[in-house]
Chain A
Amino acid sequence: MARRLSWGRLPVVHQLRQSVGLQRGMLVAGLVLTALFLLTALAAPWLAPYGFSQLRSDGVLFGAQQPPSADHLLGTTVGGYDVLSRVIWGARTAALVIIVAIAASIVIGVLLGLVSGYFGGWLDRVLVVVCDAVYAFPSLLLAILLAIVISGGQSDLWGGILAAAFSITVVFIPQYFRVIRAETVRIKAEAFIDSARVIGTPHRRIMGRHVLRNATRTLPLIVTLNASEAILTLAGLGFLGFGIEPTAAAEWGYDLNKSLSDVTSGIWWTALFPGLAIVLAVLGITLVGESLNDLADPRLRSRRAAAVGAGEVAETSVVPGGTLTAGPAGLDGLEGSGTLGDEGIEVRP
């Protein structure tokens, strides 16, 4: 059993070992950027030289729009905050919003998708129409509306984070709903669901044990793609002024908004660094997502070419990840009469 539980089978690690060449480069770059982002978020109190809402140290004001110096490595903003500290603390806000938004949308989306796809009928039709309607809204507009509804314009740290997260959640639920529903409809027609039904398995058990576990294959992929979208939505909200107050938390979009006027007057540091932070975080997560997407599809996955005449003749008709129609899948062959040893089973490297 130990072999099955080993770390090599974990979603991202598995793909990393599977990848070669450019695809591996993309995945590694994405993973490094994402890890950097998460570490920054986690260690913000120790990394940042000042607090995100700190205006003075030792009783002395930082001063507004100070260029980069030894005291303020990336300068200060128009409001007199330290840019470096705000960028670092901003990672924490972004990470929190992503986690809350995705956790909420996964739970709700998956549950609705599962029920909707499994039972079908009028519930399914209503839910699909609602999700289509949500799709029809411009997502940022929807997020703004929800931000106002939830926080009423006033926002402390958690109020702001929850407002941003839930407004993103509403936009994301349809995505999870659709993916899980489509998978459920597909899996429902598979023979193993029939074979569960003929032995009289209750619906709840079929959904939980047989459908759900098989339907979640593509979730890591959507999660990574959504995470980058969540950062952009959060930054968009902040930029438009529906984000979190600077005294409650650091937020990249808000800082960008405030630095609008600086850019024209030659003050580059206030806009560049929060912008760069957004770009790198989104880039890192997107790279991971896109690589996972390519690696999940055997047709897009690149492999090392087989050497001429290389390889062993496979012993069974089973290849991990499905049989190839081309036929190299191996041999079913004659099964030994009587004794069945361990031969006849492909051993994975």
Chain B
Amino acid sequence: MSAQAATTGPTTTRTSGAVVTVRDLTVSFATDAGPILAVDGVDLEVAPGEVLAVVGESGSGKTVTAKTILGLLPETATARGAVVLSNKAGTSESDVVALSRSQLRAVRGTDVAMVFQEPSAALNPVFTVGWQIVEGLRAHRRVRRAEGRRQAIDVLRRVGIPDPETAVDKYPHQFSGGQKQRVVIAMALALDPGLIVADEPTTALDVTVQAEILDLLRRCRDEFGTAIVLITHNMGVVADLADRVAVMYQGKVVEQADVRTLFADPQDEYTRTLLAAVPRVGGGVVNAAARVEARAEGWAEAAPVVVAKDLRIEYPGRFRKPAFVAVDGVDLSIRPGEVVGLVGESGSGKTTIGRAIGGLTPVTGGSLSVLGVEMRGARERDVRPVRPRIGFVFQDPASSFNPLLTIAECVAEPLVVHGRAGDARDARDRVDELLESVQLPRSYGDRYPHELSGGQRQRASLARALALDPELLVADEPTSALDVSVQARVLELFAELQRELGFACLFISHDLAVVDLLADRIAVLYRGRLVEEGTSAEVLGAPQHVYTKQLLASLPVPDPVLQAEHREELAALRA
């Protein structure tokens, strides 16, 4: 391999005016478990003013490729190949892989800039945003104070920060998440680079905010002529923004095509699977109809397993600040065997409701009755008898297992705690059965949680939740930490088990398309209030509340042609 490296050294030939040309890039990392090949012979090219989306699932090497463009690889990485970067005017070019540190500094910011995933982590909390923008300018040229401030205000105005003259003196915490991301984009645009590398720029944001940031990035391309390398796992975002798409899998680019061609006629097998796995709004109508058909007579009259009446949950404020109201007067009921989807953005109180049903968060007002037990003011002793009848699946599969216990021991915990088995070994038969029901081989019981992938862990989590045959399952964003193809499989399995075992379920998610696949009824939460509730067809087909309409319109459709129309709808709705 090293002999090959000598022949494919840095190239100097001028390439058809591309802002960046990546040629035969190979990156390896030294890890405790030996070297790992993250990027394997990648070729990419980005033309000026073009948006190239690099798509792939976690570990596909997309972020590493992006970081190489800025020379941001950690010390444990070794890179081979060429990343030829030219400036916006096309007058100079340099091979990032071969540059020294000081040369790299000169290139960063002026030729290429980066927009990070988590805007609150990318901004320094102790400096004003104006200072941070000027800092970027100062790194490259001498700037007078007044001049720097003027430029900072100018760039903030251009990214759509309201009242930039006062905003320039504010600190990052005074902005909302979406505005913070605008500031980060402003910092990237400050030196007018030819290329912006945006690493999952909207993943940490809510859908409605995501739509705004995508609009802004589109404007960067149209008004500033900046090329963008967009790293994302979200096919909707790709359809919305990208001109060209490169699909990465196992460190290789498996397919590269124009966005419309790729969505209309994917060539590679992996691309096809990936696209098929993306959940779409409207895909669940058939499932829901089938479930309604299968219901027994008198189902609607059966006593609900969960009844919330004017439910109110407050978190006590600190230092005499008023309490934070997370849930404010919610009425909700879940009937036996029914899947209720709870949708909302971050801070809407959806997780709080789920935790209150599981007895993890105290109810402060109204009434919440779970399987006949009133949760308001309930003590652990009162709740304990119904615990075995409630299952819980948590969001993060990485942390919801005790890392020191094997999967079998983890799954056996509920059985042991409730005295159905003496110890984990005793419960092994039942555990094996459970693992098989979630389509994990029995042998996985002897593995430790970190030895399983995210999707496998989430399935084991489902097995644990179902160990005691619960009547009610609370699933809190069970798939949001998973890759889209893995998510598809987990959801499929979930629907199947629900059909077989017939438990009632509160399915919490921020993703309307995911909820649509599973839920009989959907409840939409907005700032702690229930703004809309109805069957999936009602809520998604003919939304009544303005917020629901916005939520639906903000959700990018994984199809570039439809998304273009969809975008106009959203613009009309906002106007």
Contacts and interface: CB of A to CB of B under 8 A. Distances in A.
Contacts of A321: 32
Contacts of B250: 313, 331, 333
A132 interface: no
A210 interface: yes
Given A1-B446, A201-B413, A332 B26 contact: no
B266 to A, nearest CB: 14
Given A191-B395, A198-B387, A199-B414, A318 B36 contact: no
B94 to A, nearest CB: 20
Nearest to B470: A199
Contacts of B176: none
Chain B interface helix/strand/loop/mixed: mixed
Contact of A313 (B40, B418, B448): B40
A339 to B, nearest CB: 9
Contact of B455 (A306, A309, A335): A335
Interface stretch (A35-43, A232-240, A341-349): A341-349
Contacts of A314: 36-37, 59
Contacts of B31: 303, 319, 324, 328
Interface string B476-488: 0000001101100
B494 interface: no
A298 B30 CA distance: 12
A190 B399 contact: yes
A327 B64 contact: yes
Interface of A: 1, 4, 18, 190-192, 194-202, 205, 209-210, 213-214, 298, 301, 303-314, 316-324, 326-335, 337, 340-341, 344-346, 348-349
B454 A317 contact: yes
Nearest to A189: B399
B337 to A, nearest CB: 21
B131 interface: no
Contacts of A317: 58-59, 453-454
Given A199-B418, A318-B453, A332-B453, A306 B394 contact: no
B219 interface: no
B1 A309 contact: yes
B377 to A, nearest CB: 18
Nearest to A301: B32
B160 to A, nearest CB: 29
A145 to B, nearest CB: 39
A157 to B, nearest CB: 40
B395 A194 contact: no
Contacts of A209: 402, 405
Contacts of B394: 191, 194-195
Nearest to A304: B30
Contacts of A332: 57-59, 453-455, 482-483, 486
Nearest to B269: A334
A329 B390 contact: no
Contacts of B401: 192, 195
B464 interface: yes
Interface in B404-462: 404-405, 413-414, 417-418, 439-441, 446-448, 450-456, 461
23 contacts: A192-B399, A192-B400, A195-B392, A197-B360, A199-B392, A199-B413, A210-B402, A301-B32, A305-B76, A306-B30, A308-B1, A309-B26, A311-B34, A312-B37, A316-B452, A317-B454, A320-B33, A326-B38, A326-B64, A327-B63, A332-B58, A334-B270, A345-B447
Given A199-B413, A306-B78, A327-B58, 17 more contacts: A194-B400, A196-B402, A197-B359, A198-B358, A303-B76, A306-B29, A306-B76, A307-B78, A308-B26, A309-B2, A313-B40, A314-B37, A317-B59, A331-B57, A331-B60, A332-B57, A332-B486
Interface of B: 1-2, 4-5, 26-38, 40, 57-64, 67, 73-74, 76-78, 80, 249-251, 270, 273, 355, 358-360, 383-384, 387-388, 390, 392, 394-396, 398-405, 413-414, 417-418, 439-441, 446-448, 450-456, 461, 464, 468, 482-483, 485-486, 489
B60 A311 contact: no
Contact of A306 (B35, B395, B403, B404): B35
A214 B62 contact: no
A326 B453 contact: no
B381 to A, nearest CB: 10
A318 B450 contact: yes
Q: Which of A201, A311, A320, A321 has the most CB of B within 10 A?
A: A311
A205 to B, nearest CB: 7
Instruction: In the A-B complex, list the 3 residue pairs whose CB atoms are closest, starting with the nearest.
Output: A311-B35, A200-B387, A328-B38
Contacts of A344: 453
A331 B35 contact: no
Nearest to B392: A198
Contacts of B26: 308-309
A312 B59 CA distance: 13
Contacts of B446: 1
A253 to B, nearest CB: 41
Nearest to A316: B453
B38 A327 contact: yes
A340 B455 CA distance: 12
A268 to B, nearest CB: 48
A200 B418 contact: yes
B359 A198 contact: yes
A305 B30 contact: yes
B28 A309 contact: yes
B1 A310 contact: yes
Contact of A330 (B36, B78, B461): B36
A340 B33 contact: no
A195 B2 contact: no
Contacts of B63: 326-327
Contacts of B249: 331, 333
B67 A326 contact: yes
A306 B417 contact: no
A329 B59 contact: yes
Contacts of A341: 441
Given A200-B387, A334-B485, A319 B33 contact: yes
Nearest to B415: A199
A320 B413 contact: no
A327 B483 CA distance: 14
Nearest to B464: A195
A200 B402 contact: no
A335 B438 CA distance: 14
Nearest to B397: A191
B403 to A, nearest CB: 7
Contacts of A306: 28-30, 35-36, 76-78
Contacts of A304: 30
A92 to B, nearest CB: 36
Nearest to B452: A318
Contacts of B383: 200
Contacts of A197: 358-360
Contacts of B36: 306, 311-314, 319, 328-330
Contacts of A210: 402
Contacts of A323: 398
A328 B250 CA distance: 10
Contact of A198 (B62, B360, B455): B360
Nearest to A190: B399
B392 to A, nearest CB: 4
A313 B34 CA distance: 11
A310 B61 CA distance: 15
Contact of B404 (A214, A305, A320, A329): A214
B359 to A, nearest CB: 7
Q: Which of B35, B67, B440, B447 has the most CB of A within 10 A?
A: B35
Contacts of B414: 199
Contacts of A298: 32
B544 to A, nearest CB: 34
B430 to A, nearest CB: 14
A189 to B, nearest CB: 9
A308 B453 contact: no
Contacts of B417: 199-202, 205
Q: Which of A196, A298, A316, A334 has the most CB of B within 10 A?
A: A334
